[in-house]
């Protein structure tokens, strides 16, 4: 629920009429906690009985529930039902409402209805009754959770009266100026977009099925491309599963689109897309689908087969490159030819240059060539297409259409003849699939080994320039493998490179589906914004509201800013969608497929072209409605001053480390860590429960327990014996997102129950990676599901030992003498957890979508900490209202900064604030008052001189599964320093994951060698191969890591000689090694699956040295030492 005001509502009576799918959840949510006495009524008796079963009080009629109710909430299907509820002579509620009551109309009704309503209320002499126009959005689950989106309008007095109850029902509450009816106008624009987007999604997925594509592949690709929308991402899974359970019934859009179109008709305002969508919903209802889910609209596009592809293995992402072949490098591709240096081609070519490739570029427009060459690097100018192709092992074509591609290769350009044998042609233009297949035949017919890769791109000019395009590719596996490095230089993250089955032509078919959606979404955005202008709304405010609502689409967010500013700079020309939707309609005609949404949108683009706008921005199609007397830019209020995302990103540049840190204010002069330690040790602070997503979280701690199980009994015992805090090793970073979320939910529910049994207060920390990798927002939202909403999330990725600094909300990684923005490091390219933003505000928005907006953040700055001290931090934290559901970003450049922040934080918690923490390791030690101790050295793991045990003379075992560049560098230094004193066995990862038999043979051989070396008293390093076996699929990458870790554990199981020590390098490797030793020694007396910090007798110890820590951690007869270099 949203933030509440301070008015008490302990005895407030609420009458509630309408206990259907939405109303039932809303009424039940209101009566939780006893703040409201809710009396409910519905015409359908089973709904009333269901409400009573949930603890509600039933009413006999609207008049009955209105009696003595300060508020009357109406959730009716239409305006006629509202009239009946309020004014029926026998049962009407209005005459029974007490003086100064407030009516909340949560239904979607025509805005004009509020004028009639006000007149009727006045005629009955009840001017004391106020009305709030507050249509709701969000579905049944959010209704029950009190997390709806509500648009509210009315008089200032009405909004003040209703403020608290509206906040109780909502997560996002938007007050709209203009009096009753204004909120319904906003809701009408919202529904116009959502209804159009659902219809477009149904049309697109039906076409994908008709074209013979794997529809799950199509969904996974487009939800990461420019064709995405909230409706597409939310409804298509139901289409794929043929699940028509009515989460939102199709008949709702028969009603809502009817309101939209009839309102526009009364204004003589044309809505061609909304009108086409309305007809589709009417048709769907006529087919008997009205009471089923609106995603079932897809069935009107189907003939004999469902959209769900029954041959798909699962609903998991199928769009990723499955071939884990190492990428090609600039050394292997000596030259890339590029034909087409327009708006998109410039960025693509520049990205390849940044990737280290030598690119020979050509364009018919000479200034484009000069612009490309002026960027420097290995860029060179070609005089003709043939010159660009000469000697090029890879030739990229980014031309406007099929005719230009043919001419460049076989016509006047003659590039095909100039290509060397066995070259690869990458066609990245949007062209008909049939053309791509014919082009492949023509190239194959040259009998020179030249192959074609069908690789259309999506993402726009900015993403092309940033090198993070989405590329859809299809063709021969060997061709894709050879071109992989070139493609990745343009996509950045491997997840942006999507391979589809079906050979050449399949990728272009998927691109057409994307273009169908993108083209319809731009036209829909233009139509909706023009309609908002006609309704007298502030179009800039509408954009800000709807980009965070169900009306969102990628194109809405990307194109509407141009409409608001009347900026027709052709980042993407209108002519492109004249062409692309024309190709779509040609393909639907060939397939005899019905495509009304595409046809309506294409007609709008043709109308724009007829106006002479072809070479201007596609967003300029919004000008078509100027003939109806409206202007989107003219109806836009002044923008609020704020730092744009582009400006924020532009500021995130590498900084000189020494100069930057020395320029900061002096550190806070007082040592507050000791005060925190006394506070925590005295039991005044809640017990800190640290959920560690991989085994590196304890690296700044010592003398603390780490649990590896989380049953309620174990947790209760831990709470009863520990007043400070403890870790639970979840290793959730090694799991796919849904599994990690379920795991965190299970643990938190157990922690909550155990703490209640032990009568202990507790705080939860999600200890994650200091380079921002991890499951976000899945893990924090799982904690919230178990424990309710917090006042804010606290984000603190600072970690001094690893060189991780946060300054001005930008997170840096220290590399040598330079602070590098985290998004520009290899960590951000992680196939599983990659990200694009170093500014933590933008990072959260990137990861969490519409959950937050730019007003959600509170920054604790270096000045707040070093100048203001703990009291300054406390005051800053308390400056944000409780329950505001925001994110606190903590800047830090020294361990003392974290100590000061924690001191102020604990003071804010004493004032009743409740936070959820997403942190790196440094926060935990500061919060627990733990001072660091020196890391271990090799001398610490040498055998005692007087010891005669076998293990004291045995060799040590080092396991290295981590593949990141820093680990590779560390292992290089280790081998150089130890030289002949260290035996080395390297496990080839590609062979380990090839088959069970291959893995077994490799592990057996390595284990035999390790046993031999350890017995001989020689240390041995067992390491995985250093070349990253990489896929573009996050799930596959996790599976490879898990398989490698499992192989290393199986190797451990075969170690017959007790090593003098074990070093485990790598998060998953360390976790699995610890778990193995826990199992191995669990038969010892009084053993528990827990790392304990109490010293054990050294004569019975096994030493496990794990990366990134400074702690000694014995486990019932064995000492587990963690050390060496930071993560």
pLDDT > 70? residue 1021: yes
Q: Which of 179, 209, 237 is the last residue before a domain boundary?
A: 179
Residue 1092 pLDDT: 36
Does 677 lie in the same domain as 549?
no
pLDDT > 70? residue 138: yes
Residue 372 pLDDT: 94
pLDDT > 50? residue 320: no
Q: Is the previous residue joined to 1000 through a cis bond, with omega within 30 degrees of 0? A: no
Q: Which of 571, 595, 629 is the last residue before a domain boundary?
A: 571
* Residue bearing the bigger pLDDT, 749 or 959: 749
Residue 1045 pLDDT: 75
Strand pairing of 359-362 and 379-381? parallel
Residue 1046 falls inside a structural domain: yes
Neighbours of 349 (CB within 10 A): 27
Neighbours of 325 (CB within 10 A): 16
Dihedral of CA atoms 431, 436, 438, 442 in degrees, nearest 10, equals 120
Residue 942 pLDDT: 67
Query: Nearest to residue 793, comparing CAs of 820, 766, 827?
Result: 766
Does 888 lie in the same domain as 836?
yes
Confidence category of residue 951, pLDDT binned at 50, 70, 90: low
* Alpha helical stretches, state H, 214-319: 215-222, 230-240, 250-266, 272-284
What CATH number is attached to the domain comprising 780? 3.40.50.10840
* Residue bearing the bigger pLDDT, 846 or 128: 128
Q: Which one-letter DSSP state was computed for residue 249?
A: B
Give 1105's strand partners: 1063
Does 898 lie in the same domain as 761?
yes
Q: Summarize the confidence of residues 978-1001 as an average pLDDT.
A: 87
Specify the residue for token string 């200032």: 156
* Residue bearing the bigger pLDDT, 542 or 993: 542
pTM: 0.60
Residue 933 pLDDT: 77
Cβ-proximal residues to 971 (8 Å cutoff; 6+ apart), any chain: 960, 1021, 1023, 1026, 1065
Looking at 81-90, 210-219, 519-528, 1059-1068, which range is the least confident one? 1059-1068
HEC string for 138-200? CCHHHHHHCCEEEEEECCHHHHHHHHHHHHHHEEEEEECCCCCCHHHHHHHHHHHHHHHHHHH
Does 1108 lie in the same domain as 961?
yes
Does 1009 lie in the same domain as 897?
no
Q: Summarize the confidence of residues 408-430 as an average pLDDT.
A: 97
Residue 419 falls inside a structural domain: yes
Does 713 lie in the same domain as 671?
yes
Q: Which two tokens stand for residue 1069?
A: 């490797």
How far is 204 from 587, CA to CA, in rounded Å?
12
Q: Summarize the confidence of residues 82-101 as an average pLDDT.
A: 97
How far is 917 from 933, CA to CA, in rounded Å?
25
Confidence category of residue 849, pLDDT binned at 50, 70, 90: confident
Highest mean pLDDT among 96-110, 480-494, 640-654: 96-110
* Cα 94 to Cα 40, 140, 329, 633, distances in angstroms: 16, 28, 75, 42
* Residue bearing the bigger pLDDT, 963 or 391: 391
Does 804 lie in the same domain as 750?
yes
Active site residues: 187
Give pLDDT tens digits for 690-727.
999 887 667 778 788 888 889 999 999 999 988 899 99
Residue 1027 pLDDT: 60
887: part of which helix (H) or strand (E)?
strand 886-890
Confidence category of residue 38, pLDDT binned at 50, 70, 90: very high
Residue 1050 pLDDT: 85
pLDDT > 60? residue 9: no
Residue 316 pLDDT: 33
Residue 919 falls inside a structural domain: yes
Q: Which of 928, 958, 976 is the last residue before a domain boundary?
A: 928
Cβ-proximal residues to 432 (8 Å cutoff; 6+ apart), any chain: 402, 508, 583, 586, 587
Residue 1123, SS3 per DSSP: strand
Which residue segment(s) compose the domain that 813 sits in? Answer: 655-928
Q: Summarize the confidence of residues 35-57 as an average pLDDT.
A: 95
Provide the phi-psi class of 295: left if phi over 0, else alpha when psi is between -120 and 50, else beta. Answer: alpha
pLDDT > 50? residue 642: no
Sign of CA dihedral 1114, 1115, 1119, 1123: negative
Does 259 lie in the same domain as 155?
no
Residue 626 falls inside a structural domain: no
Residue 812 falls inside a structural domain: yes
Check: CB of residue 694 under 8 Å from CB of residue 779.
no
What domain count does the chain have? 5
* Residue bearing the bigger pLDDT, 463 or 788: 788
Looking at 93-97, 104-108, 224-228, 658-662, which range is the least confident one? 224-228
Residue 822, SS3 per DSSP: helix
b/e code 572-597 from CB counts within 10 Å (16+ = b): bbbbbbbbbbebbbebbeeeebbbbb
b/e code 849-861 from CB counts within 10 Å (16+ = b): eebbeeebbbbbb
b/e code 614-639 from CB counts within 10 Å (16+ = b): bebbbbbbbbbbeeeebbbbebbeee
Cβ-proximal residues to 441 (8 Å cutoff; 6+ apart), any chain: none
Check: CB of residue 1115 under 8 Å from CB of residue 1079.
no
Q: What is the CA radius of gyration of the chain?
A: 32
Residue 941 falls inside a structural domain: no
Give pLDDT tens digits for 885-925.
899 999 999 999 999 999 999 999 999 999 999 999 999 99
pLDDT > 90? residue 256: yes
Neighbours of 1023 (CB within 10 A): 23
Confidence category of residue 325, pLDDT binned at 50, 70, 90: very low
Residue 6 pLDDT: 35
What CATH number is attached to the domain comprising 377? 3.40.50.720
How far is 462 from 571, CA to CA, in rounded Å?
9
Confidence category of residue 35, pLDDT binned at 50, 70, 90: confident
* Cα 1005 to Cα 26, 1001, 1050, distances in angstroms: 64, 6, 12
Does 192 lie in the same domain as 175?
no
Q: Which two tokens stand for residue 103?
A: 């009516």
Residue 673 falls inside a structural domain: yes
Does 93 lie in the same domain as 33?
yes
Residue 5 pLDDT: 38
Confidence category of residue 466, pLDDT binned at 50, 70, 90: confident
Q: Summarize the confidence of residues 862-875 as an average pLDDT.
A: 95
Q: What is the DSSP string of 424-460?
A: EEEE-S---HHHHHHHHHHHHTT-S--EEEE--EESH
b/e code 522-554 from CB counts within 10 Å (16+ = b): bbbbbbbbbbbbbbebbbbbbbbbbbbbbbbbb
Does 500 lie in the same domain as 367?
yes
Average pLDDT for the chain: 86
Residue 510 falls inside a structural domain: no
pLDDT > 90? residue 398: yes
Confidence category of residue 948, pLDDT binned at 50, 70, 90: low
Q: Summarize the confidence of residues 45-64 as an average pLDDT.
A: 96
Residue 154 pLDDT: 96
How far is 787 from 763, CA to CA, in rounded Å?
11
Looking at 1-15, 49-63, 602-616, which range is the least confident one? 1-15
Give pLDDT tens digits for 787-841.
988 999 999 999 998 999 999 999 999 988 899 999 988 888 776 788 889 999 9
How far is 260 from 277, CA to CA, in rounded Å?
11
Q: Summarize the confidence of residues 588-610 as an average pLDDT.
A: 97
What CATH number is attached to the domain comprising 539? 1.10.1040.10
Q: Which two tokens stand for residue 353?
A: 């240059």
Residue 872, SS3 per DSSP: helix
pLDDT > 70? residue 434: yes
Cβ-proximal residues to 177 (8 Å cutoff; 6+ apart), any chain: 153
Looking at 209-213, 323-327, 405-409, which range is the least confident one? 323-327
Does 536 lie in the same domain as 497?
no
């Amino acid at each position: 629920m949203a933030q509440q005001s301070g008015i008490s509502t302990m005895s407030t009576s609420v009458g509630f009429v309408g206990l259907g799918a939405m109303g039932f959840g809303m009424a039940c949510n209101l009566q939780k906690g006893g703040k409201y006495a809710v009396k409910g009524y519905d015409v359908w008796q089973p709904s009333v009985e269901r409400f009573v079963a949930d603890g509600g009080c039933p009413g006999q009629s609207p008049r009955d529930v209105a009696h003595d109710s300060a508020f009357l909430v109406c959730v009716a299907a239409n305006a006629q039902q509202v009239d009946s509820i309020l004014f029926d002579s026998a049962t009407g509620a209005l005459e029974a409402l007490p003086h100064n009551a407030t009516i909340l109309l949560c239904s979607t009704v025509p805005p004009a209805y509020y004028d009639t309503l006000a007149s009727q209320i006045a005629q009955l002499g009840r001017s004391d009754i106020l009305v709030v126009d507050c249509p709701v959005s969000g579905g049944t689950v959010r209704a029950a959770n009190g997390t709806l989106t509500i648009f509210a309008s009315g008089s200032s007095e009405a909004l003040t009266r209703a403020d608290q109850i509206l906040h109780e029902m909502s997560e996002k509450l938007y007050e709209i100026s203009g009096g009753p009816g204004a909120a319904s106008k906003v809701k009408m624009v919202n529904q116009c977009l959502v209804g159009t987007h659902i219809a477009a999604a149904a049309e697109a997925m039906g076409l994908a099925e008709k074209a013979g594509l794997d529809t799950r592949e199509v969904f996974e690709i487009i939800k990461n491309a420019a064709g995405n929308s909230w409706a597409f991402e939310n409804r298509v899974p139901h289409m794929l599963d043929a699940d028509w359970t009515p989460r939102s019934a199709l008949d709702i859009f028969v009603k809502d689109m009817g309101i939209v179109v009839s309102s526009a008709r009364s204004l003589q305002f044309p809505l061609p897309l909304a009108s086409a969508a309305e007809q589709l919903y009417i048709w769907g209802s006529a087919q008997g689908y009205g009471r089923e889910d609106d995603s079932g609209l897809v069935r009107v596009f189907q003939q004999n087969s469902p959209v769900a592809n029954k041959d798909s293995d699962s609903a998991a992402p199928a769009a990723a490159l499955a071939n884990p072949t190492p990428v090609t490098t600039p050394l292997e591709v000596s030259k890339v030819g590029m034909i087409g240096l327009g708006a998109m081609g410039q960025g693509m070519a520049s990205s390849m240059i940044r990737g280290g490739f030598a690119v020979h570029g050509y364009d018919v427009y000479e200034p484009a060539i000069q612009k490309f060459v002026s960027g420097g690097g290995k860029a060179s100018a070609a005089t003709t297409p043939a010159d660009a192709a000469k000697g090029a092992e890879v030739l990229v074509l980014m031309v406007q259409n099929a005719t230009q591609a043919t001419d460049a290769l076989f016509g006047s350009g003659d590039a095909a003849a100039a290509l060397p044998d066995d070259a690869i042609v990458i066609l990245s233009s949007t062209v008909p699939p049939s053309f791509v297949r014919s082009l492949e035949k023509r190239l194959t017919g040259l009998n020179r080994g030249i192959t074609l890769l069908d690789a259309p791109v999506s993402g726009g000019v900015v993403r092309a320039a940033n090198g993070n395009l989405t590329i859809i590719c299809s063709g021969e596996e060997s061709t894709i493998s050879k071109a992989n490095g070139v493609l990745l230089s343009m996509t950045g993250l491997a997840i942006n490179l999507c391979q589809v089955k079906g050979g050449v032509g399949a990728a272009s078919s998927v691109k057409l589906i994307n273009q169908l959606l993108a083209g319809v979404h731009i036209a829909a955005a233009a139509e909706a914004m023009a309609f908002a202008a006609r309704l007298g709304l502030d179009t800039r405010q509408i954009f800000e509201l709807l980009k965070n609502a169900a009306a969102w689409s990628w194109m809405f967010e990307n194109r509407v800013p141009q409409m608001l500013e009347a900026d027709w700079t052709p980042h993407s020309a209108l002519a492109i969608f004249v062409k692309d939707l024309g190709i779509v309609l040609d393909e639907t005609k060939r397939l005899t497929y019905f495509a009304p949404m595409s046809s309506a949108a294409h007609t709008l683009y043709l109308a724009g072209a007829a106006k002479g706008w072809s070479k201007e921005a596609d967003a300029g199609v919004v000008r078509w409605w100027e003939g109806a007397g409206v202007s989107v830019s003219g109806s836009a209020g002044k923008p609020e001053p704020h730092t744009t995302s582009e400006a924020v990103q532009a500021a995130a540049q590498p900084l000189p480390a020494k100069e930057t840190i020395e320029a900061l204010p002096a550190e806070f002069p007082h040592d507050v860590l000791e005060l925190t330690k006394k506070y925590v040790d005295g039991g005044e602070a809640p017990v800190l429960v640290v959920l560690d997503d991989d085994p590196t979280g304890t690296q700044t701690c010592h003398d603390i327990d780490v649990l590896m199980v989380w049953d309620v009994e174990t947790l209760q015992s831990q709470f009863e014996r520990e007043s400070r805090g403890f870790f639970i090793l979840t290793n959730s970073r090694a799991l796919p997102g849904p599994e990690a979320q379920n795991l965190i939910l299970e643990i938190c529910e157990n922690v909550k129950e155990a703490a209640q049994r032990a009568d202990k207060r507790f705080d939860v920390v999600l200890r994650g990676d200091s380079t921002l990798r991890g499951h976000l927002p899945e893990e924090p939202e799982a904690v919230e599901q178990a424990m309710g909403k917090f006042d804010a999330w606290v984000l603190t990725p600072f970690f001094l030992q690893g060189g991780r600094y946060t300054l001005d909300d930008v997170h840096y990684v220290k590399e040598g003498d330079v602070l590098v923005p985290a998004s520009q490091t290899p960590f951000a390219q992680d196939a599983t957890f990659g990200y694009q933003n170093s500014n933590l505000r933008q990072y959260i928005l990137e990861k969490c979508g519409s959950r937050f907006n730019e007003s959600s953040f509170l920054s604790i700055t270096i000045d707040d900490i070093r100048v203001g001290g703990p009291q300054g931090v406390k005051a800053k934290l308390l400056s944000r209202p409780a329950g505001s559901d925001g994110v606190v970003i903590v800047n830090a450049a020294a361990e003392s900064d974290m100590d000061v922040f924690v001191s102020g934080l604990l003071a804010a918690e004493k004032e009743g604030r409740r936070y959820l923490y997403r942190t790196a390791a440094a926060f935990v030690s500061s919060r627990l008052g733990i001072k660091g101790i020196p890391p271990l050295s090799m001398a610490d793991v040498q055998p005692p001189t007087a010891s005669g045990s076998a293990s004291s003379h045995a060799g040590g075992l080092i396991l290295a599964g981590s593949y990141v560049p820093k680990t590779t560098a560390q292992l290089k230094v280790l081998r150089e320093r130890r030289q002949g004193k260290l035996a080395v066995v390297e496990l080839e990862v590609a062979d380990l994951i090839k088959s069970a038999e291959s893995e077994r043979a490799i592990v057996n051989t390595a284990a035999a060698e390790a046993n031999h070396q350890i017995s001989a008293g020689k240390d041995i390093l067992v390491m995985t191969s250093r070349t990253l076996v990489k896929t573009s699929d996050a799930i596959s990458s996790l599976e490879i890591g898990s398989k490698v870790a499992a192989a290393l554990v199986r190797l451990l199981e075969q170690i017959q000689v007790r090593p003098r020590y074990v070093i485990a390098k790598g998060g998953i490797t360390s976790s699995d090694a610890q778990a193995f030793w826990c199992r191995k020694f669990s038969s010892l007396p009084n053993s528990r699956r827990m790392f304990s910090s109490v010293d054990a007798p050294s004569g019975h110890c096994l030493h496990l040295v794990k990366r990134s820590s400074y702690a000694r951690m014995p486990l019932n007869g064995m000492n587990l030492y963690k050390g060496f270099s930071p993560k």
